[in-house]
A and B are shown apart, each in its own frame.
Chain A
């Protein structure tokens, strides 16, 4: 089945530093990838849609200058949390759909990244 690899799985950083999270589609191409944020015991909140070769589309209320997204190839999207603060501590999950795919194709998720900002 389709595999989405996300790295790192855990990261601890100091306040003010930047952290990069990678999301790779291992056995399929993805012109579109999605970045979600999940707080403890809560649902997934879509942050942005990453588009290969063009700018990401951010959801309302998500700071694009804080959460930089780059989708430089058909298999890699990165999320950089810039100048991280403790309130950015969360679980971040990327996902993608196989392309081309039937319209009912589900999202395939990475294993997530737990970010802790001290």
Chain B
């Protein structure tokens, strides 16, 4: 079974600063996908960024970028120029390729952006 670990239950960052959330996973698969989801207080799950394991280039989406280290099975999320609206729970997720869509979620990191 796949496991996804987020070792930081809570983090905080000053507004406009940069913060990195860590995520590691355990799998014997070679082809898979990784995602970061954000869950603000509204509880709506929002996709932040995704990464294909076969791509070496790290994904970026505006202020959000990842550091994907396949050999180390690490998938950290960097948020630049943090904004108050970034305050949320962040979940790392893993999906095997071609398996019928099952996602495995990490335990989450609660991020607070301090004004």
Contacts and interface: CB of A to CB of B under 8 A. Distances in A.
Contacts of B107: 42-43
B15 interface: no
A114 B42 CA distance: 11
Contact of A46 (B97, B103, B106, B108): B103
B45 A32 contact: no
A43 B96 CA distance: 19
B101 A41 contact: no
Interface of B: 33, 35, 42-45, 47, 50, 52, 89, 91, 93, 97-98, 100-103, 105-108, 110
Contacts of A107: 35, 45, 47, 93, 101, 103
Interface bin, chain A: 20 to 34
A91 to B, nearest CB: 6
Interface in A34-72: 34, 41-44, 46, 49
A106 to B, nearest CB: 5
Contact of B106 (A43, A97, A104): A43
B50 A104 contact: yes
Interface string A93-118: 10101000001101111011010000
A91 B43 contact: yes
Contacts of A42: 107-108
Contacts of B91: 43-44
Contacts of A32: 100-101
A114 B105 CA distance: 20
Given A103-B97, A103-B98, A112 B44 contact: yes
B87 to A, nearest CB: 14
A106 B47 contact: yes
